[in-house]
Structure 1
Amino acid sequence: MELRHLKSFVVLAEELHFGRAAKRLHIVQSALSKQMLLLEESVGCRLLNRNRRGVTLSEAGKVFLEEANQALEHVERAIETAWRVSKGLLGRVRIGYSAIAVHSGILTSALTRIEHAMPEVEVLLQQIEPWEQNERLMTDKVDFVFAPVLDNYQQTLRVHHLTKLPVVVGMSVHHVLASKPIIELEDLKEEVFIEFANSDGEALDVVKSLIGLHPQTVIAKSDPIAVLALVQAQRGICVLPTVLQLPNFPQVTYKPLTTNCAVLLSLISRRDGNDPLLNKLKEILIAPTILAQDHPRSVLIK
């Protein structure tokens, strides 16, 4: 059964006259008659009552006409949907995000931009911890990640820096450095660092990324509250972006650094750029109007 046969049947059902229907279809009457015979042969029953005065629909033909109209509508909708997807106007995007992206307002701003510019795009959100970013992107589990870029990337990814977020030092109010209004990096060289990470190696990467130090001792905790609890108990200190401070956490204080340390909050994605939807979304997500401070700057992490 061919799609053109369905279209011809619908036109013939509207005209109930082979001559007029053939003229509308821009084919000769004999070709239309042959198409209807082939259609009836495919269906396995008579759809048309033919006589010298014209043509009428059989009972089976009346039912078939309703189904044929629905089928043609489905085909038209499928064609329109496929075209919109090919132009990047319709589809689904999977966005991973870290806590920093939420607290900084970058994620909210990005979602607002998508809703305004591409309301038919379905957005699926996934919270991703820093140690999961690389694997989620490279195994195609997410399309974009809003997160800081750490030093442990082994695959080539596309990174657009969105903004810089200041870094502070968290410590117990009883710590020897707690009385200082500003902390120097030199003060921290012998400190134990407790960081939100999945392993001590990743905790070391966090410290190096945030303040450039290579501490002798690091402790990794996968729960941010556990990090602050250990800091509160004077087991060590932590470094973190200002947006992640918990100012009401008891007996913990946050100190700025004399060195202008900051974390780069970035949009991270795979390098492949063949999907028109993802390409359009990337333009929206890195647009200057969603940035907190700096204009985006594209780099490759290798």
Structure 2
Amino acid sequence: MFSLDQLRGFVAVAEELHFGRAAERLLMTQPPLSRQIQKLERSVGVRLLDRDNRKVALTPAGAAFLSEARRLLTLADVAPDRARRIAAGSAGTVRIGFTAASTYGTLTRVLNAAADAAPDIDLDLYEMVTAEQIAGLQSGELDLGLARPPFDTEQFASRLLHTEDMVLAVPDGHWMTALDRDVTADDLVQEPLIMHSPTKARYFYNLVVRIVPVGQQNVVHTVSQILTMTWLVAGHRGVAFVPESAQGLHIEGVTYLSLRGVTDQQAELHLLWPRDSDNPALQTVLDALEN
């Protein structure tokens, strides 16, 4: 295996095309430099330089090896600094899970704040429902989640990120759009309902059933994504309870109506991370989001 000193010697000779000038540049004498090149060529298994008493030239293999040698030396130079920055939390990677509904404004605010405070930290994104995020945080596949409650507060630390009201999405021209008041539970008795999945969207399912009694005879579709629900509403398949931020989707054919008496049933979105995380970059991102 070749050494970094051998690579530096080869690069110097390749750039100077003269052993004497290369040795002078490296603050060494010519004989040990020549031995370094010979050892390098034996390690690589090909001749890298053509030399005689009058000139030095790169072989085709040497020309190809030169670019790789420069790359390896650059990596060797920057690796210690990068390791120090990763240990300090100013570089590295934070893997973020997020629910689809959190992309309606909240996710970009989180990413922008983190990127402004720590531009050398890579932010990898994974779209997951809350249950999948919790599994990812437990297994170490994720560092941070944008998730809905409930979660194990002994295992996870959390920070409330955003709250919003639930609204009723109805097709444009629906009879409830003509009401001169907020929608009540009585208005929904005969309405076909597009409902959240009780397994894949359990948080929103539980939130909705606290808002209004849901008769299974009224449920025409059960889905897990807010975007899908809203498109189904636009297609006159029924009405749906969605977080207020869904209005940011700007899907044509949908009107959003306020609900009476549900101010205590707001949807919550939390930052969620393992209490025992050993990723220094995570703390840097959390500090950025607190400011």
User: 1:274 is matched by which residue type in structure 2?
Assistant: D
5+ residue gaps in structure 1? Answer: 233-237, 289-302
Deviation by residue 1:142-190 (Cα, 9 ceiling, x = unmatched):
443323x222659933322112223457799889xx8875879xx9xx9
Change (3 A) 1:164 1:33: same
Aligned to 1:146, the other structure's residue is in SS state strand
**Aligned letter for 1:73?**
R
Match of 1:299 in 2: none
How many aligned positions are there?
Answer: 267
Does residue 254 of the first structure (1) align with residue 253 of the second (2)? Answer: no
Match of residue 241 from structure 1: 243
Q: Distance in 2 between matches of 1:25 and 1:158?
A: 54
How much has 1:32 moved relative to structure 2? 2.9
1:6-155 matches, within 5 Å, as 6-13=7-14, 14=16, 16-18=18-20, 21-42=22-43, 43-45=45-47, 47=49, 49=51, 51=53, 56-57=55-56, 59=57, 61-63=58-60, 65-79=62-76, 80=78, 83-84=81-82, 87-88=85-86, 93-103=94-104, 105-117=105-117, 123-140=123-140, 142-147=142-147, 149-151=148-150
User: Does structure 1 retain, via aligned residues, the 8 Å contact 2:137–2:144?
Assistant: yes
CA distance in 1, matches of 2:195, 2:83: 40
SS of alignment partner, residue 163 of structure 1: strand
TM-score (norm 1): 0.61
Distance 1:231 1:45 in 2: 75
Q: Provide the rounded CA distance (Å) in 2 between the counterparts of 1:130 and 1:95.
A: 12
Long gaps (5+) in structure 2: none
The amino acid of 1:106's aligned partner reads T
Sort the Cα spacing of 1:74 and 1:221 in 2 relative to 1 into closer, same or farther, 3 A: same
Aligned equivalents of 2:244 and 2:47: distance in 1?
A: 75
Q: Once structures 1 and 2 are overlaid, which stretch shifts more, 274-283 or 158-167?
A: 274-283
* Aligned mates of 2:97, 2:23 — CA distance in 1: 56
Aligned to 1:224: 229
The question of whether the paired residues in 1 share the 8 Å contact of 2:166 and 2:267 is answered with yes
Q: 2:63 is matched by which residue type in structure 1?
A: E
Distance in 1, matches of 2:200 and 2:194, equals 9
Match of 2:269 among 241, 262, 265: 265
Cα distance, 1:74 vs. partner?
0.8
Residues 19, 33 of structure 2: 8 Å contact kept: no
Q: TM-score with structure 2 length normalisation?
A: 0.63
Q: Distance in 2 between matches of 1:171 and 1:255?
A: 12
1:283 partner SS: helix
Aligned to 2:156: 157
- Aligned letter for 1:160? R
Indicate the SS of the match to 1:87: helix
RMSD: 4.8
Instruction: Answer whether contact 2:164 2:268 (CA < 8 A) is retained.
Output: yes
Residues 34 and 249 (structure 1), Cα distance of their counterparts in 2 relative to 1, 3 Å cut:
closer
Rounded Cα–Cα distance in structure 1 between residues aligned with 2:274 and 2:92: 18
Report the 3-state secondary structure (helix = DSSP H, G, I; strand = E; otherwise coil) of the residue aligned with 1:112: helix
Confirm or deny: 8 A CA contact 1:157 1:268 kept in the other structure: yes
| Percent of aligned positions that are identical | 20
The verdict on how the C-alpha distance between 1:265 and 1:85 changes in structure 2, with shifts beyond 3 A counting, is farther
